[in-house]
Amino acid sequence: MEKLNVSYYLSERLVAKIDERSSQRSGNRSQQISDDLGKFYDMLDDGLRSALDMLTSDEIRMVIGIIKSRPTASQIPGTNAKMELVGIVDPSVASRIAALDDIACYALWDWARTNR
């Protein structure tokens, strides 16, 4: 894998958490960030796949439309993604969304807000 130089600002609280995790493993902050980001995006991919497999194409279009019509569509509700989704969709879809885990709901919300 090609190394890229990237510069980001991270809060002190987040850096402390990363350092704590990296000290338990390799001791390398950059490697820990890379590993954690890779795992996070793998979880999002798996969650989105689960969510899309559970819904029909019409239901997916409905979810996209509902999310995009919200005034705060660009903001992902984070840990409240499941509760938010269940509260804004039809009851028949809400029961299936409620069966998804939080990561799948977060991934669905994130994907829907950027989908065309």
116 residues of the chain, pLDDT tens digit each: 677 787 888 899 998 988 888 887 766 888 888 888 999 999 999 999 999 999 999 999 999 999 888 877 566 777 788 998 999 899 989 999 999 999 999 999 999 988 86
DSSP type of residue 27: S
The pLDDT of residue 5 is 80
The pLDDT of residue 30 is 83
Torsion sign across C-alpha atoms 100, 101, 105, 111: negative
Judged by DSSP in three states, 92 sits in: helix
DSSP element (H, E) containing 43: helix 29-54
Q: Which residues contact 112 (CB under 8 A, 6 or more apart)?
A: 60, 63, 64, 67, 68
